[in-house]
Structure 1
Amino acid sequence: GITLSYQKLLDGRFYAVCSKHYGYAGSRPVTMQDLAKERLIFLDNSWCLPKQNALQSSLTRDLSSLDYAVANNMTDYEQMLSAGLGIGICADFVVDPSNDELELLPLENEITDEIGMVTLKNRKSPAADFVAWVRRHGLPATHPVAE
């Protein structure tokens, strides 16, 4: 039979993400009630992580009058956030860490996630080579967080 191996590459934490010029006036850490008063930017479910998709779905289900727009891809998502069109809810490794226009605000209820890679166990493959490279060199730091 085939045996698979999972290697975790990166840990992350979810934040409310917005432009530094957005003017968020709610509480810190950010509550779901705060989000209900804001315009949210969601990422299309074919692009986002399952945990982000579940969080977006629960917000639309639990907050009946929610004002939100959906970005079709990662580039549009980050540009909409940077332009101050709303607040996104995503892991710190989703947005570009070199984008200093964005502010990451901690959520009241901490939500974490991880990115990893599944490879065939005990087989040489480009994916296994990549995992070994990441283990040697590490991944770049995620976005700085506003306290």
Structure 2
Amino acid sequence: MYLEHLTTFVNLAETLNFSKTAINLNMSQSSVSQAIASIEKQLGVSLFYRSRKAVSLTPAGRDFYDRIKPWLNEYNKSVQHVQQVQAQQQMNLTIGYSGTPYENTVIPQLVREFCKEHPQISVFLENYAHKELKEHLAHGNCDLIFTMPDIIDGNDNFKYSSLLVGYYCLIIPKESKALPTPVDLSALGQGRLIFSDHRWCPPTQDQLQKEISKSNPSLNLAYANNIATAHAMVKAHLGWGIWANFVSDPNDDDLVKLPLATNIIPDYGVAILKQGSPRAAKQFVSWLEKTGLPG
């Protein structure tokens, strides 16, 4: 199985569009089809459902993607690392994050500024759900993760550094009628709420969602399996969101954050390993503590 074919498969699994993958990889659409067909033939399974209007992953395709993508990332990092060692580059740093609107805006800015001050450090980024990020950090597949203390609780080899202490909010479209702040939990039954699935959201948010449910026995609820979906649903005026203030894009003027009347306080920062953490990760943490995060 050729490496180029696996790269083509991963790209197609993410675009779900043969034309876009052909453009992304600078190859013909027929070559994309041939690469996928070759993999499917070797595996003896179908990886994609195909129709004239849409392309989607089969269950086998989704499982193959989940397993191949981290391996391919590690392969590419290994190639770059070897090349950098040859060029006498000193350090690499892999940073993991969960892809909140806040992180998608702020982390590129932070990394750009950090690299200006530390050109000897090569930075890589990886985006996974909280559970995968914890596993990657624990197994040394990444060096530092943006996270919350309640998410990593229980791992004695994680060292957490707090960067922001925030507050939980009701997130509503700008055009909506605002509620008196701080918003009482019992007032949330007035609209449709969008909760995050407990398997995705931080434990403190899950605790808050349970308190809201107790305060409103007849809630109109919708569930989202990740923050991007919850964010999109609020943007589409499909309901009100519940998340910490540091989850929202600080430059987003379309949504309004209304503080909630709750004693549950969210905290946001970074975690590295207590034992075995590379020097580049410690340097990045020190730099963040001095620089701070946009509030």
Q: TM-score with structure 2 length normalisation?
A: 0.42
Q: Partners of 1:30 and 1:42 in 2: how far apart? A: 16
Asked whether the equivalents of residues 185 and 215 of structure 2 are also in contact (C-alpha less than 8 Å), the reply is no
Q: Give the superposition deviation at 1:50.
A: 1.2
SS in 1 for 2:167: strand
State which of 74, 99, 104 in structure 1 corresponds to 2:252: 99
State which of 49, 61, 71 in structure 1 corresponds to 2:202: 49
Q: What amino acid is aligned across from residue 160 of structure 2 in structure 1?
A: Y
Q: Give the superposition deviation at 1:124.
A: 4.2
Where do residues 53-68 of structure 1 align in structure 2 (5 Å cutoff)?
Answer: 53-68=206-221
The 1:57–1:110 alpha-carbon spacing in structure 2 relative to 1, beyond 3 Å, is closer
Residue deviations 1:14-59 (CA, integer Å, cap 9, x gap): 11111112334x4333112210221101112232221111111232
Q: Residue in 2 aligned with 1:22?
A: 176
Q: What amino acid is aligned across from residue 294 of structure 2 in structure 1?
A: P
CA-atom RMSD in angstroms: 2.3
The 1:20–1:119 alpha-carbon spacing in structure 2 relative to 1, beyond 3 Å, is same
Higher strand share: 1
Asked whether the equivalents of residues 195 and 223 of structure 2 are also in contact (C-alpha less than 8 Å), the reply is yes
Number of residues paired by the alignment?
A: 139
SS in 2 for 1:22: coil
Q: Residue in 1 aligned with 2:184?
A: 31
5+ long unaligned stretches in structure 2? 1-155
Q: Residue in 1 aligned with 2:162?
A: 8
Q: Partners of 2:270 and 2:226 in 1: how far apart? A: 22
The 1:44–1:4 alpha-carbon spacing in structure 2 relative to 1, beyond 3 Å, is closer
Higher helix share: 2
Q: Partners of 2:182 and 2:158 in 1: how far apart? A: 39
Q: Residue in 2 aligned with 1:135?
A: 289
Q: Give the superposition deviation at 1:133.
A: 2.8
Q: If you compute each CA radius of gyration, which structure gives the higher value, 1 or 2? A: 2
The 1:4–1:23 alpha-carbon spacing in structure 2 relative to 1, beyond 3 Å, is closer
Where do residues 103-118 of structure 1 align in structure 2 (5 Å cutoff)?
Answer: 103-118=256-271
Where do residues 83-98 of structure 1 align in structure 2 (5 Å cutoff)?
Answer: 83-98=236-251
Q: What amino acid is aligned across from residue 184 of structure 2 in structure 1?
A: T
Q: What amino acid is aligned across from residue 84 of structure 1 in structure 2?
A: H
Q: TM-score with structure 1 length normalisation?
A: 0.79
